[in-house]
Each structure stands twice: as structure tokens, then as C-alpha cells.
Amino acid sequence: MSDPRSNDGLRVFKSSIFPDVPLCIGRKGASWFLCFSCPVGARGTRIHACINRIDTSFPFPSELREGHTKFVFDTHGPNHGILQQLLKVDDPPLLRKTGTEFGSGIEKLPEVEVLITPAETLRCCGRCNKWEAVCMPRFQVCSSCKLRYYCSKECQKADWKPSLHKSECPLLKEGKENEVEARRRTHDNEWWLKNKMREMETSYEDADALFDDPDYFLYGAHDSLRKG
Ligand SMILES: [Zn+2]
Ligand SMILES: [Zn+2]
């Protein structure tokens, strides 16, 4: 496996998951994604899959002040076999299993430690949900919480509202990521179905397509979806 790296610090790697497309580990808030380093297919997809599971019964998201960030890897559905492949990427490794598992019954999900740095992680704009493009300037971090990235000054300004990042930022600074996550309810798919999807003025077909797009499904891209 070759391990090309771009000059700007982003970690780009090759894996047998998609032998022909360089990959990245992406992060958007508390969600982690297996991303393509460049747009793929006619729709210009950047995300292969959301790779973590956020559940109110898990002690996550967890931004450890010391040591590495950890998350619970979702090994089901489109993620089947992916963790195994990602663990094979070395020099240096991307992820490491901690040995702890979450969930109950047959559904045991492994906890993983993220070994790459924030600089090596593909960033997503906290406002417009745009992903970084390789060979373009990196997105800038909120200088206060250092946990939200923005593609432009305009997006950062637009997100600085009491209902959005202005109220989240101090909580994130205090390490209260669980609280922020609970407010956004991004982990709660059932709640999204009941309360958010219903708000969408869209045809059944469109709504169906949105379910395939973790970008929309997890965070929504419209203001109407981001209130609350
Ligand atoms: Zn943006
Ligand atoms: Zn902030």
C-alpha cells in the first residue's frame, strides 16, 4: 500500500477498500467519515460512509484533553469489513482498537483511538457542510473552541448565532461535547425522522435520496433543519 501525502498536512492513504481512490478520514462535529480525497462519480460524492455510532448510552463523543480522541466504530451495514482494512493502514497507523466494546447482545461495537492528528483529518465546514478539497487552502478552525472548522469568514460569521455555534462554543471549550450533541440531537435518528425530516418540503423521492447522504441525514444542510 502506498501512502501518498499532500503538502498541507492532510493524511491521504490508499487501501484495498477502494484501490484506485486515495482516501481520508474526515470529521464533522462528533461524526467521523471515510472520505474520498477527491470527488467521486457523477454526483461528486466525498463520503463513503459515516464510520462511528453515536448513542446516548455511550460515553461519547469524547474529546480527551490528554491522549487521543476515541469513538465507537460502527461495523455494521456499509462499514462491514472496513475497520479491518483501516487497521491495516500503517506507517503510521490511522486507528487503534482499545479493546473496549460497547453495545449489548450480539451488537458489540469496538472503541477505537484516532491516531492521526486534527491537521491530518479532512475537515468539514461547520456551516455549509462543504468538505475540504486537496490542494486548496485548509479550512480555518474556530480560535476559541478549536473544534469547528469553516470554509470561509462568511460561513463562520453566519454560524455565530445564539441558536448555533455561539452557544455551542463555550460548551465545547469546557469539554461538554455530549451536551452539544444532545442539543443538536444529531445522534438520534428516530428523533430526526419524527421532527426534522417532516419539516422538509421535499418529494418522497428526494427524501429517500437524503437518507443515502449522511451529509444531510446527520446534520442537514438547511437552516430550517438546524434550529432546535
Ligand atoms: Zn462553509
Ligand atoms: Zn468555537
Residue-wise pLDDT for 60-103, tens only, equals: 555 555 678 888 999 988 899 999 999 999 889 999 999 999 88
* Cα(122) to centroid(ligand 2), Å: 18
| More confident call, 43 vs 34 | 34
* Cα(95) to centroid(ligand 2), Å: 26
What distance in Å separates the CA atoms of residue 101 and residue 73, rounded to the nearest whole number? Answer: 9
pLDDT band at 182 (very low <50, low <70, confident <90, very high): low
The ligand whose atoms approach the alpha carbon of 157 most closely is 1
The ligand whose atoms approach the alpha carbon of 180 most closely is 2
pTM (two decimals): 0.78
* Cα(175) to centroid(ligand 2), Å: 12
Name the residue with cell 490508499: 14
